[in-house]
Amino acid sequence: MSNQPNQAIILFDGVCHFCSGAVQFIINRDRKGYFRFASLQSTVAKSLLADQPELQNTDSIILIENGQYFTMSTAVLRIAKNLEGPWKLLFPAHIIPSIFRDLLYRYFARHRYRWFGKAQVCMIPTAEMRERFLDL
């Protein structure tokens, strides 16, 4: 399964309350439907990552765009670049070396369950959102 040139795929932690909220945030600011979604726990994600052994145990965001895989702060900035509104103004932060950006990202990711909680099962999208998900 590959994404089309005018679409990108976001793999997210489906049991993370913050991550599920972030997906809803993205959908609300992506009216053109550029992003599609699948939880990291899904068979779709496992299939998409089959030829990416270094990413198969990742438990945070992965962006697949134009055949390339982006993680951590780079994924977040590339997503922001494609959102409507002021969020695209975050993209110039990509000039900061990822080693520094990812320190902050890893700190947040390490504490996200404690701060926002963790569900027992992956989020179930609303009927309006279902078409944007690959694993339903």
The CATH number of whichever domain residue 127 belongs to comes to 3.40.30
pLDDT per residue, tens digit, the chain (136 aa), is 444 557 899 999 887 888 888 998 999 999 899 999 998 888 999 999 999 989 988 888 999 999 999 999 999 999 999 999 888 888 888 889 989 999 998 898 888 878 877 766 555 666 566 677 776 4
60 found inside a domain: yes
* Phi-psi group of 79: left, alpha or beta (phi > 0 → left; psi -120 to 50 → alpha; rest → beta): alpha
Specify the pLDDT at position 75: 95
Range(s) of the domain holding residue 76: 8-131
In a domain, 136, yes or no: no
2 domain residue, yes or no = no
Q: What integer pLDDT is reported at residue 1 of this predicted model?
A: 46
Regarding pTM above 0.75, the answer is yes
Task: Supply 46's token pair.
Answer: 């496992």
Residue 127 is predicted with a pLDDT of 59
- Residue 132 structure tokens: 């944007």
Do the domain assignments include residue 1? Answer: no
Residue 3 lies in a domain: no
Q: Is 80 domain-assigned?
A: yes
pLDDT for res 136: 45
Helix axes 17-28, 98-116, angle to 10 degrees: 110
Looking at the structure of the chain, the number of domains it has is: 1
